[in-house]
Amino acid sequence: MALLPILTLPDPILRDVAARVERVDGEVRRLADDMLATMYDAPGIGLAAPQVGISRRLIVLDVSDDDGAARPLVMINPEILHLGDGRRSYEEGCLSIPDVKVEIERPSTLTVAYLDRDGVRQQLDADGLLATAIQHEIDHLDGRLIIDFLSRLKRDIIVRRFRKSART
């Protein structure tokens, strides 16, 4: 497994809508494995393919607690089928926007359909942190970032700061 470079703001790939994965093959499985290694190394709890420069609808997650047992989840072409009525606020960070945290209110439960790493269609009911992480990573597939939940003024300040540091 290889560690992949994580793109940061203002890289334009982060704003693209990712293309569907047409076929689950060895190349896609290798990408998922590399993404998991990169996510664990960062460290993070989720990573979307656009964050490593691959504009495809693939996300990896692991929201396991600190009991030492990893529980990686690979979702190819994830689609949210249902969002629950309850809401939950969570302070979210993002590997592509280091050192920025944004309080975001999202539905606290969801049902998602996806292909697993073997190309088998799965459906998952998620709640709590897992539901939040799935929504966050699917946002990446749609070119949406956590700063989009901020006021225009706050968002522009953050974008300016990252553009300035990208030039230096």
Return the active site residues. Answer: 137
Burial zone of 48 (CB within 10 Å; 0-12 exposed, 13-18 middle, 19+ buried)? buried
Cα–Cα dist 50/14, whole Å: 6
Query: Rounded distance, CA 52 to CA 157, Å?
Result: 24
Helix (H) or strand (E) holding 78: strand 73-83
User: Are the beta carbons of 57 and 20 closer than 8 angstroms?
Assistant: yes
Query: How far apart are the C-alpha atoms of 43 and 106, rounded to whole Å?
Result: 23
The Cα–Cα gap between 25 and 79 comes to: 20
